[in-house]
Amino acid sequence: MKLRLASTADRRQAGARLRGDSTSLVLSSAATSALGLVFWVAATRLYPVEAVGQATTAVNAATVLAGVANLSLGPLYERFLPAAGALRARLVGAGLVLSAVLSVVLGTVFLAVTSADGLVTSRAQALAFVAAVVVLAAFALLDAVLIGAHRARWAALKNTAHAVAKLVAIVLVSCAGTGFTIVLGWIVPAAVAVVVIEVLLLTVLRRGGRQEPHTLPAARELAGYAGVSFGWMIAQAVPGLVVPVLVLSIAGVDQAAYYNIAWTVVTASLLVTSLIAGPYVSAAARPGADLPGLTRSFIRVLALVCLLRGLGVAVAGPVALMLYGTEYAQAGTPLLVVMGVVHLLSGPGHLYGALARVHRRIGYPMVVQAVGSVVLVVLVARWLEPMGIMAVAWAYLVHDLLVLAAAIPPLVALLRVTLRERR
């Protein structure tokens, strides 16, 4: 009887911890989104539209390249770091070094092959862009590491502090008036946050897991999971890297500014969903986890977040654009309304992705994402000239409808297994 009561209490505690971690990440994301809005409002008021167009394109490109440089290590850390025991500090350090090296390579290659005029205009800006990729890769990877180490609230604090610091920085250096001044205002505070978190986290991991044995799967299985996860991540990253460059190249720098400013609202909403999936996957990976209870808690949180995302993007987003100026609101409002509808349709796909990671069945979702991304980019390229930036919204709507149709059958099958499985 006592064991049963203890087990019930443990399950309730695990569910409460998951909800607490998810709530802290959602609140942090809301705060960083609001501060990000203020950041770009300040940029549009303090800098010319050409500088804003250059900065938003550079930040978006660096962010996507940083995601590629992380080699899908983030999902690996969320899924397997709870089982790494005494190997945790070593695995985290190796991942951060590998990410930094690949960031330099990818940033350099991107600048060498890109055809987008005006992204960088000097050698100093090129070096700053590559450095930005390195910093943003570490900044993003640390979110997953902290979630896998069951310190999601550190990630929430890091992101909120960075949002405040970059806003202060952009105001202080506004006298320079160039696009890369905006980029540096974003990157320098992120670099400081990365150094502080890395020192604290590696110290904690070394002290906390010295005698704890690992329960990781075989190296071959880990490598297979990593390879498929990397393909999945590449498929997700392609639209974020290619679409802004297409807008800049085909529609011009002014339209790129309008698109990128509106897209900051969409990006913030996407970040919320990706953040809440991490704590669920990490909690479900623990030996003895109450998978049905955790999954029900995650479904409730995800449903609420998708509803708030849709309403936030479609209703609050256009209001926020008015703060940037009439031209930004007129150009971006239709885009945000359609993207709000897209977000309302995206919940089942996100749920399927999280369940696939927990059960290590990620091959099919990777293929679905790859096909969807190709369709999305092709549609944007074909529709951009006649439709303007609305081409992006309509292409995403087609993309999400295709993903939804492909995800429903395997999602139903996984839910049947998950809701009766106990680890």
For 88-126, write each residue's pLDDT tens digit.
Answer: 888 888 999 999 999 999 999 998 887 555 678 788 888
| Per-residue model confidence (pLDDT) at position 296 | 92
Does 80 reside within a domain? Answer: yes
Q: Is the dihedral of CA 167, 173, 176, 180 positive or negative?
A: negative
Question: What pLDDT band is residue 166 in, cutting at 50, 70 and 90?
Answer: very high
- How many structural domains are present in the chain? 1
The model's pLDDT over 238-296, given as tens digits with 9 standing for 90+, comes to 898 899 889 988 988 888 888 988 998 888 787 777 778 888 888 888 777 788 989 99
Give the pLDDT confidence score for residue 4 in this predicted structure.
Answer: 46
Tell me what pLDDT residue 240 has: 84
pLDDT of residue 422: 59
Would you state the structure tokens that stand for residue 40, as one six-digit string? 């770009």
Cα of 274 vs its chain's centroid, Å: 6
Quickly state the pLDDT bin for 334 (edges 50, 70, 90): very high
Q: Flag whether 343 is in a domain.
A: yes
pLDDT surpassing 50 at residue 2:
no
pLDDT at 53: 80
Helices (H), 117-213: 123-148, 152-172, 179-208
Q: What is the pLDDT of residue 209?
A: 57
Is residue 356 over pLDDT 90? Answer: yes
| pLDDT score recorded for residue 1 | 45
Q: Tell whether the model's pLDDT for residue 395 goes beyond 90.
A: yes
Q: What is the pLDDT of residue 203?
A: 84
CB distance 96 to 47 below 8 Å: no
Distance CA 320, CA 329 (A): 8
In a domain, 7, yes or no: no
Distance between CA atoms of residues 84 and 214, nearest Å? 5
Identify the pLDDT of residue 368: 95
Domain annotation covers residue 325: yes
Please check whether residue 1 lies inside any domain of the structure.
no
**What mean pLDDT comes out for the span 311-337?**
90
Query: Does the structure show a pLDDT above 70 at 177?
Result: no
Helices (H), 247-389: 253-284, 291-311, 317-321, 326-345, 347-358, 363-387
pLDDT at 44 exceeding the cut of 70: yes
Residue 315 clears pLDDT 80, i.e. is over it: yes
Q: Is 207 exposed, middle or buried (0-12, 13-18, 19+ CB in 10 A)?
A: exposed
Query: Any idea which of 12-26, 69-83, 143-157, 186-200 has the lowest mean pLDDT?
Result: 12-26
Q: Is the pLDDT of residue 5 over 50?
A: no
Report yes or no on 104 lying in a domain: yes
User: What pLDDT, on a 0 to 100 scale, did the predictor assign at position 233?
Assistant: 79
Half-sphere exposure of 292 (CA within 13 A, CB side): 7
Residue range(s) defining the domain that contains residue 255: 13-418
- Alpha carbon 122 to its chain centroid, in Å, reads 29
Residues 31-46 have a mean pLDDT of 84
CA nearest to 302, candidates 322, 336, 279, 320 = 279
pLDDT at 14: 62
Q: Which of 423, 285, 286, 306 is nearest to 355 (CA)?
A: 285
What DSSP state is assigned to residue 177?
Answer: -
Q: Give which of 152, 122, 1, 140 is closest to 62, Cα–Cα.
A: 140
Q: 44 near 261, Cβ under 8 Å?
A: yes
- Note the pLDDT of residue 189: 94
Segment holding 53, helix H or strand E: helix 49-69
Give the model confidence (pLDDT) of 46-90 as tens digits. Answer: 888 888 888 888 888 898 899 888 887 888 888 888 777 778 888
Evaluate whether 60 touches 244 at the Cβ level (below 8 Å).
yes
Is it the case that residue 6 has pLDDT exceeding 50?
Answer: no
Q: What whole-number distance in Å separates Cα of residue 149 and Cα of residue 163?
A: 23
Instruction: Report the range of poorest mean pLDDT among 16-30, 160-174, 339-353.
Output: 16-30
Is the model's pTM score more than 0.85? Answer: no
Judge whether 193 lies within some domain. yes
Residue 189 domain-assigned?
Answer: yes
